[in-house]
Structure 1
Amino acid sequence: MSEKIADLCRLISHGVYVVGVRDREKTNAFTAAWLMQVSFDPVMLALSINPEHNSYRLLESGRCCTVNVLGRDQMAIAEHFGRSVPDKMTGYAWQQAKTGAPVLPESLAYFDCELSHFTDAGDHRIAVLRVVDAAMLRNGPSMLYSQTGDMDGSSELYQE
Structure 2
Amino acid sequence: MNNGRDRAVLQQITQGVYVVGVADGEKTHAFTAAWVMQVSFSPVLLAISINPEHHSYQLLKKGGVCSINVLSRDQSNIAAHYGQSGIKDKMSVGTWAAAITGAPVLQESLAYFDCKVSHEVSAGDHQLVVCEVLEARKINVGDAMLYSDTGDMDNSEKLY
| Alignment TM class, shorter chain as reference | over 0.9
Structure 2 unpaired stretches of 5+: none
**Are 2:3 and 1:2 aligned?**
yes
The residue that corresponds to 2:67 in the other structure is 66
- Contact in 1 for aligned 2:78/2:93 (Cα 8 Å): no
CA RMSD of aligned residues (A): 0.7
- What do residues 10-42 of structure 1 show as CA deviations (whole Å, max 9, x unaligned)? 111010000000001110000000010000000
Superposed counterparts of 1:124-143, under 5 Å: 124-143=126-145
Give how far 1:91 is off. 4.0
- What do residues 41-89 of structure 1 show as CA deviations (whole Å, max 9, x unaligned)? 0000011000000000000000000000000111111001001112210
Q: Secondary structure at the match of 1:89?
A: helix
- Residues 1:91 and 1:69: Cα distance change in structure 2 (over 3 Å): closer
The residue that corresponds to 2:90 in the other structure is 88
- Counterparts of 1:75 and 1:92 in 2: how far apart (Å)? 12
Q: TM-score, normalised by structure 1?
A: 0.97
- Counterparts of 1:92 and 1:110 in 2: how far apart (Å)? 14
- Counterparts of 2:4 and 2:58 in 1: how far apart (Å)? 32
**Are 2:21 and 1:20 aligned?**
yes
Report runs of 4+ in structure 1 exceeding 6 Å deviation. Answer: none
1:106 maps to a residue whose letter is: E
Superposed counterparts of 1:7-156, under 5 Å: 7-84=8-85, 85-156=87-158
Structure 1 unpaired stretches of 5+: none
- Contact in 1 for aligned 2:19/2:82 (Cα 8 Å): yes
Q: TM-score, normalised by structure 2?
A: 0.97
- Counterparts of 2:94 and 2:155 in 1: how far apart (Å)? 24
- What do residues 127-158 of structure 1 show as CA deviations (whole Å, max 9, x unaligned)? 00000001100111100000000000101012
- Counterparts of 1:74 and 1:90 in 2: how far apart (Å)? 15
Give how far 1:92 is off. 2.7
How many pairs are equivalent?
A: 158
- Residues 1:64 and 1:157: Cα distance change in structure 2 (over 3 Å): same
1:21 maps to a residue whose letter is: V
- Residues 1:107 and 1:126: Cα distance change in structure 2 (over 3 Å): same
